[in-house]
Amino acid sequence: MITEHLDVLIVGGGPAGSTAAALLVEAGLKVCIVEKEPFPRFKIGESLLPGGNDILKRLGIWEKMDDAGFIRKYGAEFVSSDGSSRVHNIFSEGLVKGLDYTYQVERSKFDLLLLNNAIKKGASLLQPAKVISTELKEGQWQVAVEAENQTTQYQATWLLDASGRDAFFGKKQKLAQDTIPYPKRFAVYSHFKGVKRNSGKEAGNIIITRLRDGWFWSIPLDDDKTSVGVVSVRKRDEWKDPNFTAETFFNNEIKRSTYLSGLLENAQALDDFRITADYTYSFSDYAGPQHMLLGDAAGFIDPIFSSGVYLAMRSATMAVDAILPAHREKRTLTTRDCNTYTKKLKSNVRVMRNLIEVYYDPKGFTIFMSPSEKFKLFQSVNSIVAGNSNPGFSLRWRFRLFLLLCKINKRFKLAPDQELA
């Protein structure tokens, strides 16, 4: 068994792992990424947020996004099931300026772009490869990795878990999890051709359509390919039905919405329908003296507002900013360092969860779909939708006022109720 010495070993080569690797090698650290799947590979979570544009620029790939063929995303649309109500968030009209657009990305291409960027900067890669064991011994992580039918022992000062919803480290170490009182949900999705779109700049919008117990997304990926999926509450009896199939469920949900039926009347699925189940979770602590949990490996929230890739990449920058001073000073992360990372990341997640809870609550959804220009409330919500998950005072108090109005609407009717199919 060969032993190789590293500064950082990263489990997972998705957006969080690739971002962390690129920034760490730029700072002079020796980094290896262990990724279990060959790239390119299918992945959902295809809509970026303008709030993450600074990270793309920091990585040096912002200028490559147009050349890669990704569609510009200037806004987000939220539509009622019958299409009678529509809220259009145009990012350039938000309270925070300079975030005019971002991109819709086919993840097979985007993730490969990020991974290649990290490798080009100097990170090493094992792919496909699997971490067999991890042990912290005498101040170093001893990590056994299997690749090409050979097991290699790596020694690393830092271990970063960017394994996504596999949550490799958290599950292996049986880390404590927060209690999150959300119902169990699942998503059914595929890629399609022939889905109707808006024209002009609005052609690149993500469209979110609300149903009574869930919602649909429609994300344009290129000139004809569109990602479409439904998120719904998981019903026990439904899954026990021997006739249940992902495609049948998807088609039945489409029929509940006259608006969606119109969008997809000439659409054809390009891939098999896929299912992802049991969405939301969060570990209690995201860091220890020599390990950190990044992105979905730390926690996962409902993707209504497309925060997944943004939070993954943001967590990577936060982790790097915590590790570098400790590494230079040849010390481990202090309890304060660990708590600060966890608190900051959870604070970012909390902002997006506030918006998610508003959207699912019928009375909150009513306020969301009745935008007010008073106190620039709509502009503030627009900026949160754009990914401003660490808002300054001017944005923060307006967003809190919006949340308060959503609560008040439960007792006093501030806006007409929305009809949901």
**Terminal CA-CA length for the chain:** 60
Taking 90 as the threshold, does the pLDDT of residue 236 lie above it? no
User: For residue range 199-220, what is the model confidence (pLDDT) as tens digits?
Assistant: 999 999 999 999 988 999 999 9
Which phi and psi angles does 147 have, rounded to 5°? Answer: -150, 135
Helix axes 15-26, 308-328, angle to 10 degrees: 30
> What is the torsion angle, in degrees rounded to the nearest 10, for the CA atoms of residue 9, residue 10, residue 11 and residue 15?
-170
DSSP code at position 83: S
Contact partners, residue 275, CB within 8 Å, separation at least 6? 186, 187, 188, 246
Structural domains of the chain ordered from first start: 3-70+105-178+280-333 (3.50.50.60), 185-277 (3.30.9.100)
- Give dist(CA 275, CA 6) in Å, integer: 37
Q: How many CB atoms lie within 10 A of CB 378?
A: 21
Question: Of all residues in the chain, what percent carry a pLDDT higher than 70?
Answer: 97
- Give dist(CA 349, CA 95) in Å, integer: 20
> What is the torsion angle, in degrees rounded to the nearest 10, for the CA atoms of residue 375, residue 379, residue 380 and residue 385?
160
315-318: Cβ within 8 A, 24+ apart:
315/16, 315/286, 315/345, 316/15, 316/16, 316/17, 316/19, 316/20, 316/23, 316/55, 316/162, 317/19, 317/20, 317/23, 317/55, 317/58, 318/344, 318/345
User: Strands 71-73 and 102-104: what pairing?
Assistant: antiparallel
Q: How big is the chain by its Cα radius of gyration, in Å?
A: 22
- Burial bucket for residue 262 (CB in 10 Å: 0-12, 13-18, 19+): exposed
C-alpha 1: how far from chain center: 37
Indicate the length of the chain as a whole number: 421
- Burial bucket for residue 240 (CB in 10 Å: 0-12, 13-18, 19+): exposed
- Give dist(CA 19, CA 154) in Å, integer: 21
Three-state DSSP class for 150? strand
Residue 87 has what pLDDT? Answer: 95
- Give dist(CA 119, CA 63) in Å, integer: 18
- Give dist(CA 233, CA 194) in Å, integer: 28
**Per-residue DSSP letters for 310-333?**
HHHHHHHHHHHHHHHHHHHTT-PP
Q: Whole-prediction pTM value?
A: 0.95
- Give Dmax (Cα) for the chain: 69
Taking 70 as the threshold, does the pLDDT of residue 160 lie above it? yes
Sign of the C-alpha dihedral, residues 319, 324, 325, 331?
A: positive
User: For residue range 357-377, what is the model confidence (pLDDT) as tens digits?
Assistant: 999 999 999 999 999 889 999
User: For residue range 102-145, what is the model confidence (pLDDT) as tens digits?
Assistant: 999 999 999 999 999 999 999 999 999 999 999 999 999 999 99
CB 182 within 8 A of CB 196: no
DSSP code at position 111: H
pLDDT tier, 240 (very low <50, low <70, confident <90, very high otherwise)? low
Question: Across the chain, what does the average pLDDT equal?
Answer: 94
User: For residue range 28-86, what is the model confidence (pLDDT) as tens digits?
Assistant: 999 999 999 999 999 999 999 999 999 999 999 999 999 999 999 999 999 999 999 99
